[in-house]
Amino acid sequence: MSGKHVLQGAQNFVISGSTFNTADTINYYTSVGNRTTSDAAIPVKPNSSIRFTGRTDVLAKLKEHFTAESNDKLRRRKFFLLYGMGGIGKTQICLRFIEDMSDCFSHVFWIDASSIDTITQGLKGICNFPEAQSSALDGSPQSALWWISSLGDNYVIVFDNADNLTPEELEPYFPSGLGGNILITSRNSGLRHLTLHENSLEVKEMEENDAISLLLKAACLDESQQDLQAEASKIVNELFCIPLAIDQAGAFIAYGDTDIRHYLGEYSQYRERLLSYPAFKGASKYDRTVYRTWELSFNEIQQRAESDNFHRAQAANSAMLLLALFAFFHFDGITEEIFSYAATQKHETSEDNEQRPALPRASSIIDRTLLQLDDTGKWDNFIFKEGLQVLFSFSFIKLGSSKGVYAVHPLIHAWGRDRMSSEDRQKYSLMAYIMLTSSLPGDFDKQPYQFRRILVTHLRANIQYSAMEKREMVDRYFDEAHERSGGLLSEQGYDSEAEKFQIKVLDVRSRTFGEEHPNTIWAMGNLANTYESLGKYADAETLQIKVLDIRNRLFREEHPDTIGAMQNLANAYHSSGKYADAEKLQIKVLDLRNRVLGEEHRHTISAMGNLAITYRNLGKYTDAEKLQIRVLDLRNRLLGEEHPNTISAMSNLANTYESLGKYAFAEELKIKVLDLTNRHFGEEHPDTISAMGNLAITYESLGRYADAEKLQIRVLDLRNRLFGEEHPDTITAMSNLAYTYDSLRKYANAEKLQIQVLDMRNRIIGEEHPDTFTAMNNLAVTYQRLGKYADAEELQIKVIDLRNRVLGEEHPDTISAMSNLASAYESLRKYADAEKLKIQVLDMSNRLFGEEHPDTISAMENLAIVFYHLQKYKDAVKLGVQVVDLRKKIFGEKHPQTVEAVALLATLKSPTIKVVHHISQIADKFSKMLKSKYDKQ
């Protein structure tokens, strides 16, 4: 090793008969006679670490390769390459392998291959071997290679740390001939060109148990203590089981600077210092810390960037820029499409520039170094690819799950930011943000959904890193970038994060252009939609009314933007439970669109679909069915059966069939929807997953609970894997599975999931979001099933209080909560309290929905049961008869709800028979809530 006596710190070896053997003393060799010798030190293999742990699979692979008998008559040289990121333990594996196999090789030569200079120094040192000196070598590297090649078949030469060399640069230092064995370690996977594919192996992170053992050894702690094992597990996972990082952590703990229980606290605050502090370099044979290991590779790239060779310098500069940008993306799933779309998106039009001349535009400052276009207007990715190759050669990145997708190891990813100055962090964080938002079109429909699903992960990571710098990304305003960020976050279910961007956009546009500017009005509408998703219905309604008022004032009623504003306000009314107001506006929207655009225009058909959904919520199932059949017929004829809008129309009609009790029709359509979405989009597309969830709900209605459970588990698994545990759709899937467990009477399973759902809703969207109320309500119902009546009562009172305050007393969900609390009172035998609430529920349902609405009929049925418990038999029977008559009229005699009503009436007419309380109204309401989440237009 250059600059030191190579035997310094080595295990006791002497060279005897040209092999290394253990001895009690070390003998140093000097020149003999008048032969020409080199002044270079003899390159002797260093010792492996006494803490070496695990790696049995890699060692076994090496032993198998170098000891296997060759089928060739002539023994051919065996090559093997170990490659992988710096600090991953390649050198230590080789050291242990050579020690384990020392009896199998006639000679062992260990060469530091970190540069041409270290290789030539090592070869010159070999000339000083006593056996080599007897061959009258001239002290040159070439004479050393000649001598090694004369030794026969069974020597091994290790080129360690060959990180900075190309295959063409390293190969001249292989001894001539076919004999011997060559083992190479490198970060550069490109050295695989020197051997066959099967004779190379990437060294990856340690197994967790081995990593724990290494940490405790390095920290000089007792491996048998279970509490230490648990603490060590947390640390090694935080360090991603990288051996050098773990060894350094152990050294830090062993020095007594911190206790193992407090290491992660120190690490979270001082990561950069701990991974680069010279005193804690662990077992590195090159005196390097984790961060120093990577910094040396980066320095090599910097030197290339200053090269006189233009193409070499260009590739290095591209690599440095990519590494800096990647540090502010998510570490995994970095796709070429981000750069391709950013290069080819046409963000600015002359009209757009005229409308927003005073606002800063991200597209005006984007660095186009990596975004060049060719003569045909397509992305020229040559410079991008050149940079990637440099990063691959130093194991800074690796291939991802598919072509064109890349990943950075999480610890290298952190180092990429830690090594930067504060100014550079701000610079590259902003540059990465602009790159990400520039890859989005103004109209999201022009781009594959799956790309946006990947992109949002990178955008959220970028925002997080910006916040870690104590600088909110929204503070540096770029108009179109912020608009697209808000739109993407909202589309992907991250409404709280979207809200911040959209408030900023509206504020800046209002101040710059005034409230009546088209772009300001557009921003108002976007924010209103996000308020709606966040459950801030009053805020959404206020904004939508304002938008409609401005559009009405600026344009005529028949202007497309005015009609669109009407539809958006109708949606806000719908979310607020003001179904009658929504219906009134939607009828007007449909009439206007019919008159202006004609019945077959896509906006007219969409207006029909929206009105149909409102009809369904009003209990006007026949009207809904009629409209949805018309929508499906039009979309089938105009778009074809496999168009996403046609599939959506099928799904909505299937839900209405279910409400009408036409379960066979509903099942048939939903199976078709699932088959089409699967074929059209693939199993992992959100629409396919939603179709699975919809079909599961129909299986519930058909009493096929096992089939429903199987599908719901699959839905939850897919959403968990694709979106993450805390995504709104994943939480909804948990809630739906809990409902299925409830149907299967697996109440303990349902309770466990519902507690988890409520906890996540509380933490992510807050206690006052409607979805959080629903989670409380569902858990309360399960408490009731489990006989935890006091717990159910307490939760239901809280649900009513919150819904009253946030949604208002007359919102359907508030009325539903009152009914559920009444049921809890009933279980507690508080019949008078139950009666009072249920009379109130019936009165409000009658007034808001009318006598024939399903919720009103359910309220009658529930009140009849309470009358029965209070021994008001005549009142109970009177209501029971009314329920049967209404259900026969609306659903027909064979509908399941009609059959249930007839059975209940028979019970009410028999006072001697004990009534078991039915909670069908609760189940119906919850089922409706689940199904409404899948309504799409």
- CB within 8 Å of 480: residues ≥ 6 apart: 347, 356, 361, 362, 363, 437, 442
d(CA 6, CA 16): 18
d(CA 526, CA 710): 37
Q: Which helix (H) or strand (E) holds 846?
A: helix 831-849
Alpha carbon 137 to chain centroid distance? 61
Alpha carbon 497 to chain centroid distance? 16
> The pTM is what?
0.77
In this structure, the number of other CB atoms found within 10 A of the CB of residue 602 comes to 14
- CB within 8 Å of 746: residues ≥ 6 apart: none
Q: Name the pLDDT band for 888 (thresholds 50, 70, 90).
A: confident
Q: What is the mean pLDDT of residues 864-893?
A: 88
Q: 186: closest CA among 94, 321, 122?
A: 94
To the nearest whole percent, how much of the chain has pLDDT over 90? Answer: 44
Q: Name the pLDDT band for 134 (thresholds 50, 70, 90).
A: confident
Length of the chain: 937
**DSSP 8-state secondary structure symbol assigned to residue 936:** -
For the chain, the average pLDDT equals 84
Query: Is 328 in contact with 465 (CB distance < 8 Å)?
Result: yes
Q: What is the mean pLDDT of residues 85-100?
A: 91
Give the SS3 label for residue 448: coil
3-state secondary structure 642-654: CCHHHHHHHHHHH
CATH homologous superfamily of 831-936 equals: Tetratricopeptide repeat domain (1.25.40.10)
d(CA 935, CA 615): 13
d(CA 143, CA 98): 25
Both structure tokens of 62: 């090496």
Query: What's the pLDDT at 935?
Result: 37
In this structure, the number of other CB atoms found within 10 A of the CB of residue 178 comes to 11
Using left for φ > 0, alpha for ψ between -120 and 50, and beta otherwise, residue 320 falls in alpha
Say yes or no to pLDDT of 2 above 60: no
In this structure, the number of other CB atoms found within 10 A of the CB of residue 798 comes to 17
Query: What's the pLDDT at 51?
Result: 87
Tell me which residue has tokens 């009072």.
836
Query: What's the pLDDT at 22?
Result: 31
d(CA 670, CA 652): 9
d(CA 602, CA 580): 25
Say yes or no to pLDDT of 931 above 90: no
Both structure tokens of 516: 């009546």
Query: Is 4 in contact with 10 (CB distance < 8 Å)?
Result: no
Query: Is 635 in contact with 645 (CB distance < 8 Å)?
Result: yes
pLDDT tens string 542-580: 999 999 999 999 888 889 999 999 999 999 998 887 888
Say yes or no to pLDDT of 917 above 70: no
Query: Is 418 in contact with 291 (CB distance < 8 Å)?
Result: yes
Angle at Cα 563 formed by Cα 559 and Cα 569, nearest 5°?
A: 145
Rg (CA), the chain: 36
pLDDT tens string 269-308: 888 888 877 666 555 555 578 888 898 889 999 999 998 9
d(CA 754, CA 679): 33
CA terminus-to-terminus distance, the chain? 70
Query: What's the pLDDT at 930?
Result: 38
Strand partners, 407: 398
In this structure, the number of other CB atoms found within 10 A of the CB of residue 642 comes to 11
The CA distances from residue 406 to 336, 522, 525, 564, in Å, are: 8, 36, 37, 42
Strand partners, 406: 334, 399
Q: What is the mean pLDDT of residues 900-913?
A: 78
d(CA 739, CA 105): 67
Q: Name the pLDDT band for 334 (thresholds 50, 70, 90).
A: very high
Query: What's the pLDDT at 355?
Result: 54
Amino acid 233 reads S
d(CA 432, CA 327): 9
Fold entry, domain 662-728+735-744: 1.25.40
Q: 413: closest CA among 570, 525, 558, 271?
A: 271
Query: What's the pLDDT at 259?
Result: 84
Q: Name the pLDDT band for 909 (thresholds 50, 70, 90).
A: confident
Query: What's the pLDDT at 912?
Result: 53
Query: Is 652 in contact with 612 (CB distance < 8 Å)?
Result: yes
State whether the Cα torsion 670-674-675-679 is positive or negative. Answer: positive
State whether the Cα torsion 195-199-202-203 is positive or negative. Answer: negative
Range list of β-strands (E), 350-391: none
Tell me which residue has tokens 């933490």.
763
Tell me which residue has tokens 């009207």.
623
Say yes or no to pLDDT of 197 above 60: yes
Higher pLDDT, 909 or 329: 329
Query: Is 831 in contact with 870 (CB distance < 8 Å)?
Result: yes
d(CA 223, CA 158): 33
d(CA 888, CA 882): 10
**Is 745-828 a CATH 1.10.1060.10 domain?**
no
Both structure tokens of 231: 């603490």
Say yes or no to pLDDT of 911 above 70: no
d(CA 11, CA 7): 8
Alpha carbon 358 to chain centroid distance? 36
pLDDT tens string 170-186: 999 999 888 889 999 99
- CB within 8 Å of 874: residues ≥ 6 apart: none
Q: What is the mean pLDDT of residues 141-170?
A: 90
pLDDT tens string 764-802: 878 888 888 889 999 998 998 898 988 988 998 999 988
Say yes or no to pLDDT of 696 above 90: yes
Query: What's the pLDDT at 727?
Result: 84
Q: What is the mean pLDDT of residues 242-268?
A: 84
Say yes or no to pLDDT of 439 above 90: yes
Q: What is the mean pLDDT of residues 526-531?
A: 94
Q: 613: closest CA among 637, 591, 586, 576?
A: 586
Q: Name the pLDDT band for 36 (thresholds 50, 70, 90).
A: low
Q: What is the mean pLDDT of residues 366-376?
A: 87
The domains of the chain are located at 56-202, 208-306, 326-346+359-375+392-492, 662-728+735-744, 745-828, 831-936
Both structure tokens of 315: 């590739």
In this chain, the answer to whether the domains covering 662-728+735-744 and 745-828 adopt an identical fold is yes
Lowest mean pLDDT among 190-199, 673-682, 908-917: 908-917
Say yes or no to pLDDT of 17 above 60: no
Strand partners, 15: 20
Lowest mean pLDDT among 90-94, 678-682, 830-834: 678-682
At 406, give phi and psi (nearest 5°).
-130, 160
DSSP letters along 203-259, please?
Answer: --PPPHHHHHHHHHHHTT--TT-HHHHHHHHHHHHHTTT-HHHHHHHHHHHHTTSS-
Which of 235-239, 469-473, 915-919 is predicted most confidently? 235-239
Lowest mean pLDDT among 318-327, 357-366, 491-500, 581-590: 357-366
Q: What is the mean pLDDT of residues 733-759?
A: 93
State whether the Cα torsion 720-721-723-725 is positive or negative. Answer: positive
Q: Which helix (H) or strand (E) holds 918?
A: none
Q: Which helix (H) or strand (E) holds 48?
A: none
d(CA 288, CA 292): 6
H-assigned helices in 419-494: 422-438, 449-468, 479-491
Query: What's the pLDDT at 908?
Result: 84
Q: 328: closest CA among 463, 150, 471, 228?
A: 463
Query: Is 760 in contact with 524 (CB distance < 8 Å)?
Result: no
d(CA 312, CA 891): 77
Q: Using CA atoms of 461, 464, 466, 470 in order, give the dihedral in degrees to the nearest 10.
A: -170
d(CA 177, CA 152): 9
- CB within 8 Å of 631: residues ≥ 6 apart: 605, 608, 609, 612, 649, 652, 653
Give the SS3 label for residue 788: coil
Q: Name the pLDDT band for 535 (thresholds 50, 70, 90).
A: confident
Query: Is 614 in contact with 574 (CB distance < 8 Å)?
Result: yes
d(CA 237, CA 239): 5
pLDDT tens string 617-663: 887 888 999 999 999 999 999 999 888 899 999 999 999 998 887 88
CATH homologous superfamily of 56-202 equals: P-loop containing nucleotide triphosphate hydrolases (3.40.50.300)
Say yes or no to pLDDT of 267 above 60: yes
Range list of β-strands (E), 703-853: none
**DSSP 8-state secondary structure symbol assigned to residue 89:** S
d(CA 883, CA 776): 29
